[in-house]
A and B are shown apart, each in its own frame.
Chain A
């Protein structure tokens, strides 16, 4: 890694002039001040993790997590199951679109066309989530007439997650070492054989990181879900049923009232999402670091 710090300059010969003294002193002061800026990132994170946990944990119990009774307003069973069901199908769809799309972009498209496709994936990542939410609302909820429903939320969220899977799948296949790709194709493998037997095993860990990343981003997303589903008191019975998503519960509880019971529930939901997102990020980090090591071991 280029991570190594630049060699120290403490042994510059000091010629005694005021200008040199100023330059060296300035460098030293900057060297102390700039790292302090890390605090701007670290203190809010610690505060956020601490306060969300402190508000959520004292009242978080097994019953709160598992009770699916429609008469309880202090339980998270229904939204947890709802979130799980939405994420399951949305991830499947995002993998379907993103994985095949990414592989096709890396393997079948000319550089020119691939450049355009990659640009559009990047633009999609940069599109505000509210826009995706509106797209889902106008298309699935109103135009297709699905109403505010499980299935409308799933499709909207999957469109939101697709570019993340797409980009990692594309990146994973384009970064398969050239000599391996050419050895496979040169020894007579069909493109399909190359993709299935050579490319996929090499690219798999990286694709997995993309999927986890998309899940981490999807599970924390609020606007697309709030605009395309409505909270229900039951777990969804059909694909057109209402479904409650954890982030949606936070927003609804927040918007409806600031009563303390609803606020505690919102903090519990926030705590769960935070834990899931941080866990997914750690998994991504572990896989990618292990993967890099293995790559270096094999090909360096």
Chain B
């Protein structure tokens, strides 16, 4: 009956099979078209046979990195507040809001940002920034009046990465043994000093993994960014300008490919862009997951 066990164990391979299937399908779909080094160049113009994706790669980092920094800082703040400063009944009321942030679909974020938030950015926030902080490189004029561009994308990505970073940091802080908290306090440290000198160093692996997984989320986000970043094919001149990311550009391109304008070359370029994106997100996710001591905590489930 040993073979029965093997048969029963087969479905366990489903996730690995899907992952390998994705890789095989994408590699196959490239038809091994070689775009040469021009693929990592700055010029994207399919009609003239130029396939440089560097603009989109830079756009991805330009939006995902600041979003990650903001969501890490805010996430650490929220996690520390909920682990030490707030009484238990308040955390039980407030924490679900952060979880809810993870549940809102990205297309809903997108339409909300486009219709409601972008006008506020365009008519209030960005003119204010130009007036007052134009001396910072990248913050000078010109602005756009519709508010679409890098700044609002960073805002949306911060919101979307925030639940992941907050949950993982909260886990990391809660994994700090109570003995350590209390011995710190008993030695006369304030709560902040215990957080700063004991809890954060103890939970640093979890905090780093939060950074990696939050980055993976922000880097791969597609629909919301496609709605608010403005789909440009040149580099943004300042933080108010439009740009594009790898994921959003792929999304918009296939939409037009479906419309009948797709050529074999576009499909091959899309498949290779997908491989680049997949490669980056796999590396980031492997690093992030390996850092979490227990891969399976209930809190991570929802992500």
Contact = CB atoms under 8 A, between A and B. Distances in A.
A184 B57 CA distance: 55
B105 interface: yes
B8 A108 contact: yes
Nearest to A96: B11
Nearest to B185: A9
Contacts of B110: 250, 254
Interface stretch (A62-70, A73-81, A128-136, A196-204): A128-136
| Residue of A31, A122, A142 with highest tally of chain B CB at under 10 A | A122
Interface size class of B (residues with CB under 8 A): 35 or more
| Residue of A40, A133, A162 with highest tally of chain B CB at under 10 A | A40
| Residue of B78, B83, B104 with highest tally of chain A CB at under 10 A | B104
A5 B11 contact: no
Interface stretch (A20-28, A84-92, A233-241): A20-28
Nearest to A195: B8
Contacts of A244: none
A148 B16 contact: no
B12 A278 contact: no
Contacts of B298: 171, 288
Contact of B105 (A104, A117, A125, A273): A273
Contact of B191 (A31, A44, A123, A230): A31
Contacts of A288: 298
Given A9-B185, A131-B274, A162-B18, A270 B178 contact: no
Contacts of B219: 128
Interface string A266-300: 11001001100110110001001000000000000
B237 interface: no
Interface string B259-303: 000000001001100100110011011101100000110100111
A131 B22 contact: yes
A254 B85 contact: no
B10 interface: yes
A39 to B, nearest CB: 10
A122 B289 contact: yes
A164 to B, nearest CB: 8
Contact of A27 (B100, B166, B190): B190
Contacts of B22: 127, 131-132, 135
Interface string B215-236: 0110111110001000000000
A250 B111 contact: yes
A222 B105 contact: yes
Contact of B254 (A129, A159, A227, A277): A227
Nearest to A224: B222
Given A48-B109, A135-B25, A35 B220 contact: no
A216 B281 CA distance: 23
Given A126-B220, A163-B15, A222-B106, 17 more contacts: A35-B86, A37-B78, A51-B112, A101-B12, A123-B282, A123-B285, A124-B18, A130-B274, A131-B277, A191-B8, A223-B222, A247-B105, A250-B111, A263-B115, A270-B107, A277-B105, A281-B99
The 3 nearest A-B residue pairs measured at CB = A220-B105, A128-B220, A126-B285
